[in-house]
Amino acid sequence: MKKDIHPEDYRTVIFKDMTNEYAFLGKSCAASRENMKWEDGNEYPLIKLDISHKSHPFFTGIVKYVDTAGRIDKFNSRYSKTKK
């Protein structure tokens, strides 16, 4: 294995699924500007997720449409002119 190619700054962070407010602790080196207080009383960096295993249709068995930031509306308005 190559040396010095992996980040050294792994730390405990909170991952929060923004579709259903589910949160869990994990390790990451991703940058974060926000912090959140966890159940143990400690404050950790917050990483916001669009989808997780609690909201993904493959794991839940429930098909639902996730429209973050109006992507479907943007697509329809952009390409509605070409339909005519």
Distance, CA of 26 to CA of 49 (rounded, Å):
13
> Residue 63's pLDDT is what?
60
Average pLDDT for the chain? 80
Whole-model pTM: value is: 0.62
pLDDT digits (tens, 9 = 90+) for 28-38: 998 899 999 99
Residue carrying the six token digits 């909201």 = 55
- What's the angle, vertex CA 73, arms to CA 71 and CA 31, rounded to 5? 20
* 3-state class percentages of the chain: helix first, strand second, coil last, to nearest 5: 25, 30, 50
Q: Per-residue confidence at 41, pLDDT binned at 50, 70, 90?
A: very high
Extract the tokens encoding 9: 């700054």
Q: Per-residue confidence at 3, pLDDT binned at 50, 70, 90?
A: confident
Positive or negative, the CA dihedral 3, 8, 12, 13 is negative
